[in-house]
Every structure is written in structure tokens, then in C-alpha cells.
């Protein structure tokens, strides 16, 4: 009979040997044991049953073979909440949490909206802001924005029916009221609806970089959610052309970007909105990760 720490040692060593992240051992063990990381660390001497060992080993072997651990266990944690994921959607990344935080902070500043971390009942007299998340995938951005700032009336769009099913399930499970729309970028709203806040984490990896990606990513996550044309900027160009047709007079725009794309995306926004206040913001690792624009 193995103890938790022995199983973790074996898995970490095995994953390292296969070029995978050792941290996956804790994710897999937490899933099998029904514990978070802190609980695991407090129960390192706990014995695991033969069924638990079999399940754990199976997860580690499959991940070593290239399958994303999040698809194997069926969820990823984003902004402290569990989001269901499957191969129809991109797995939410920690960097995208910074995009959400950046939007929340700028909404407070630009629209003078106060919000609390806990869900609160919003008074009828409080202002509502229309927000859209373009290419919602699992719904992580849209749902988190709604739960963190109930004043936002959130719409989420995706071209993929499969992705929208996942996002709808997540919204229902987490208690977020989101209006979901199937369609290509902002096309469904042209001539029909305008927004105060427009946010997107679009596919931005250049097709030429495909060969450099881990097979965990390129062989399993949806290509339509990864690649943004030859230079990675195709979706930004298209969205930025559409923006004037769907924005209110004052609008906040927030994009997640790939490394080295900050100036390109900022320049695309400047061409469309010469007077906009545009920021290129680095993530916690010091990499360009977000571009924000405030237009009025």
C-alpha cells in the first residue's frame, strides 16, 4: 500500500522524465483523493487504496502520453472557481485571470462603478453596463466578470456550438446570468446592440509557431481557439474593424495578446481610434499580455 507522498514522488519523477510539468502530479492526486493542494500536503502520509492508485497512475500515464490533465479530470480552476472543460474549449490559463482583473479595475475607474468581491444584490438605481466577451470558449471570462461585478449585463459569443454548450453549463452551475450568442466575433451585434465593455482572448498564435508548441496543446486543444492566421493578428484586425459598429460612445476594450504582439495590436487600435487612451500591459511574468483601450 502506497502513501500519498510516495505516489507523488513517483509521478513527479515520471512526468519530468517525459518532459511534462511535475505539478500535474498534485492536480491528479487532488482529483483522485478529493482534496486541494493544501489538504494533500497535510495528508502526505495517508495511505491510498489500490483503486485510488490505479486511477492516479492512469491519469499520469495518459498525461505523459500528451493528454491535457484538465481534459482528463474535466475541469480547470479559474479565479478560484471550477470551470468544466472538454476538447471543445481552450483550457483557461492563469494569464487570462489578469485580463479579467484588468477589466474590473478599469471599469471601476472609467465608469465609476463600485463592486464587491462577494456577490451582492444590486439596487435597481445602480447603473448597468453592457459587456460582451468575444470567443467565450468555456465562459471563464464572461462568467467571472458577471460574478465579480453583478452590475455588468454580460453577453458571450462563440462560433462553436460545442464551446457554447460548455459555457452554458458553467454559467448555470456557477449561477451567472449570461446571454449566449452563436456567431463570428462581433457580427451578430452589428446594427442590433452596442456595448460599454468589449473583452476578448482570441486565437493569437501564429500558424508558423505550431511546430514549436507542446503536443499537449497542439494535438488536443481546438485549433480554432489557438491560431490567429499566419501572423497571429487576423482576429484582432477583424474585431477592431467591427468595433465602431458595436461600441457605445464611451467604451472600454480589453484584449489578451501573445508575446511580442503589444505594439501591433496597439497600432491597430490607434489607426481605428486615434484619440483612444491605449495601454500595453505586462503579466506577472513580465511578458506583454494585455492591451486596453478607452474610447470616448
Provide CB contacts within 8 A for 2, sequence distance 6+: 47, 48, 53
The overall longest dimension of the chain from CA atoms, in Å, is 67
Is 137 part of any known ligand binding site? yes
As given in the structure block, the three cell numbers for residue 85 are: 472543460
Is 135 part of any known ligand binding site? yes
Q: Which long-range contacts (CB under 8 A, 24 or more apart) does 282-290 make?
A: 283/95, 283/98, 284/95, 284/98, 287/259, 288/257, 288/259, 288/260, 288/261, 288/262, 289/95, 289/98, 289/99, 289/256, 289/257, 289/259, 290/98, 290/99, 290/102, 290/254, 290/255, 290/256, 290/257
Is 136 part of any known ligand binding site? yes
Is 5 part of any known ligand binding site? no
Is 138 part of any known ligand binding site? yes
**3-class secondary-structure state, position 294:** strand
Scored b (16 or more CB within 10 A) or e, 33-58 reads bebeeeebeeeeeeebeeebbebbbe
Is 30 part of any known ligand binding site? no
Is 203 part of any known ligand binding site? yes
Residues present in the chain in total:
296
Q: With helix as H, strand as E and coil as C, how does 41-53 read?
A: HHCCCCECCHHHH
Is 92 part of any known ligand binding site? no
Annotated binding-site members for S-adenosyl-L-methionine: 135-139, 158, 201
Annotated binding-site members for substrate: 201-204
Annotated binding-site members: 135-139, 158, 201-204
Amino acid at each position: 500500500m502506497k502513501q500519498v507522498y510516495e505516489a507523488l514522488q513517483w509521478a513527479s519523477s515520471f512526468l519530468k522524465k517525459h518532459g511534462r510539468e511535475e505539478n500535474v502530479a498534485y492536480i491528479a492526486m487532488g482529483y483522485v483523493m478529493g482534496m486541494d493542494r493544501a489538504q494533500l500536503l497535510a495528508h502526505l502520509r495517508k495511505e491510498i487504496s489500490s483503486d485510488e492508485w490505479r486511477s492516479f497512475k492512469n491519469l499520469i500515464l495518459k498525461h505523459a502520453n500528451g493528454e491535457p490533465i484538465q481534459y482528463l479530470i474535466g475541469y480547470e480552476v479559474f479565479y478560484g472557481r471550477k470551470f468544466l472543460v472538454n476538447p471543445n474549449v481552450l483550457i483557461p490559463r492563469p494569464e487570462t485571470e489578469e485580463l479579467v482583473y484588468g477589466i474590473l479595475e478599469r471599469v471601476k475607474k472609467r465608469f465609476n462603478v463600485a463592486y464587491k468581491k462577494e456577490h451582492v444584490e444590486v439596487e435597481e438605481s445602480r447603473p448597468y453596463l453592457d459587456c460582451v466577451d468575444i470567443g467565450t470558449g468555456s465562459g471563464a471570462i464572461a462568467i467571472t466578470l458577471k460574478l465579480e461585478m453583478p452590475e455588468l449585463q454580460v453577453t458571450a459569443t462563440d462560433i462553436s456550438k460545442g464551446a457554447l454548450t460548455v459555457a452554458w453549463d458553467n454559467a448555470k452551475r456557477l449561477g451567472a446570468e449570461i446571454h449566449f450568442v452563436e456567431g463570428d466575433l462581433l457580427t451578430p451585434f452589428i446594427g442590433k446592440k452596442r456595448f460599454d465593455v468589449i473583452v476578448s482572448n482570441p486565437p493569437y498564435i501564429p500558424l508558423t509557431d505550431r511546430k514549436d508548441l507542446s503536443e499537449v496543446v497542439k494535438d488536443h486543444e481546438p485549433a480554432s481557439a489557438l491560431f490567429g492566421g499566419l501572423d497571429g493578428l487576423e482576429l484582432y484586425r477583424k474585431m477592431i474593424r467591427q468595433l465602431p459598429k458595436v461600441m457605445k460612445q464611451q467604451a472600454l476594450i480589453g484584449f489578451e495578446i501573445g508575446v511580442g504582439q503589444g505594439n501591433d495590436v496597439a497600432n491597430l487600435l490607434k489607426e481605428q481610434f486615434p484619440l483612444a487612451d491605449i495601454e500595453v500591459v505586462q503579466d506577472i511574468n513580465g511578458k506583454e499580455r494585455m492591451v486596453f483601450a478607452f474610447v470616448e
